[in-house]
Chain A
């Protein structure tokens, strides 16, 4: 059971490494948005600093959402999903492995890139651990929730906009707690409360989302 999980993560890693554009796209999008904001709102550091929690989180959220659109599409089109569905392995477990692999290769680099871009926006260095931690706890939720939408729209040729409409409302709590943690840290308050909320959302998503993803995939396959 766990060996198939590791095998699937390895397989996804191999696939992503052979098609690096998909890895790099969300990172480029994230960096571009963060670079354009100082140009658009002016280089005044106090203003940028106040805006930075929201900017970083909105950009990260949209980058994750963009990368998720095609999460299951190629597997759907080449018949891999059918093979998952008829296999003796549990579909939620496979779905969790797939999303985890996707997060490791697109979410995690984004988390690691964020402090650099945060510094660029004038975020004080002592707040960077909060930024890292909030993204580390928050982006898995974004990936897992987004994967539910990706599973439900898997049979559609252009599911991108529908995916955004379906999933963005569910992203709002994560956005509020994530940027809230950073906002609190910036104002000198403790961010622990927000981070604990993010951690519990993360746990909830890891335990429940795979079942929703699997159900969505089965619906998509039955069409």
Chain B
């Protein structure tokens, strides 16, 4: 990568340790606009930990993560404004309806959404008619869809998604794959983990196998 401009998000010589066990070390990573990075590897190889490090939720044991050339510890505000994080637990409250959940999450991101926009996003993920039912009555796949509806609500450019395909049906997986590819084609960035292989790989696609640790 010989561009003069620094990569949007980069990891330098990153090591991660959990409970005294080294998960990975000397990991280098560069992500520019349009890149899609699939982090794969066996269970316990540190996929989620890497994502949490990139999202700034954890601190690395060694190394540094940079956003636009500056360490994310100094760039916490910029990172927060650019980042959409959906973790393994997606932050959906069972007692609230899909609409209330999304309204709150959008407000929290400081990207307020109108009720119309939320209904459109819910329809886009196939939840038309489920806008005002408490989320605990929805199935696991439907709850995952509520969280994924955020990807249709004027999302920020950098998406970090932990196992976004979990619990989705075949049609949902295909649709999400399409949406993720479209995001990257429009100059967005995506880092995600999954165990399944994508049916089509967009231009900026790369895979990072933490089991072998070659980017």
Contacts and interface: CB of A to CB of B under 8 A. Distances in A.
Interface stretch (B2-10, B79-87, B123-131, B187-195): B79-87
Given A86-B55, A86-B56, A86-B85, A78 B108 contact: no
Contacts of B100: 11, 14
* B: contact size bracket: 20 to 34
B85 A83 contact: yes
Contact of B109 (A7, A8, A14, A87): A87
A88 B85 contact: no
B91 A82 contact: yes
A161 B85 CA distance: 33
B89 A88 contact: no
Interface string A69-96: 0000000011110111111110000000
A40 interface: no
A157 interface: no
Contacts, number: 70
A88 B57 contact: no
A125 interface: no
A4 B107 contact: yes
Nearest to B97: A14
Nearest to B90: A79
A84 to B, nearest CB: 7
A15 interface: yes
B57 A87 contact: no
Contacts of A18: 95-96, 134
B94 interface: yes
Contact of B104 (A11, A77, A79, A88): A11
A77 to B, nearest CB: 7
Contacts of A4: 107-108, 110
Given A88-B110, A89-B110, A15 B96 contact: yes
B179 interface: no
Contact of B108 (A14, A19, A79, A89): A89
A77 B110 contact: no
B141 to A, nearest CB: 16
B58 interface: yes
Contacts of A187: none
A7 B107 contact: yes
B89 A86 contact: no
Contacts of A85: 56-57
A77 B91 CA distance: 8
B94 to A, nearest CB: 7
Given A87-B109, A89-B110, A78 B55 contact: no
Given A79-B90, A221-B57, A222-B58, A87 B95 contact: no
Interface in B95-146: 95-96, 100, 104-105, 107-110, 134
Interface in A83-128: 83-89
Given A15-B93, A19-B95, A222-B57, A82 B87 contact: yes
B95 A83 contact: no
A86 B80 contact: yes
A47 to B, nearest CB: 45
A78 B77 contact: no
- The 8 A-B pairs of least Cβ separation, nearest first, read A79-B89, A79-B91, A83-B91, A88-B80, A18-B95, A86-B85, A80-B91, A87-B108
Interface of B: 55-59, 77, 79-81, 83, 85, 87-96, 100, 104-105, 107-110, 134
23 contacts: A3-B107, A11-B96, A15-B95, A15-B96, A18-B95, A18-B96, A77-B89, A78-B89, A78-B91, A78-B92, A78-B93, A78-B94, A79-B87, A79-B90, A83-B85, A83-B91, A85-B57, A86-B57, A87-B80, A88-B80, A88-B110, A221-B57, A221-B58
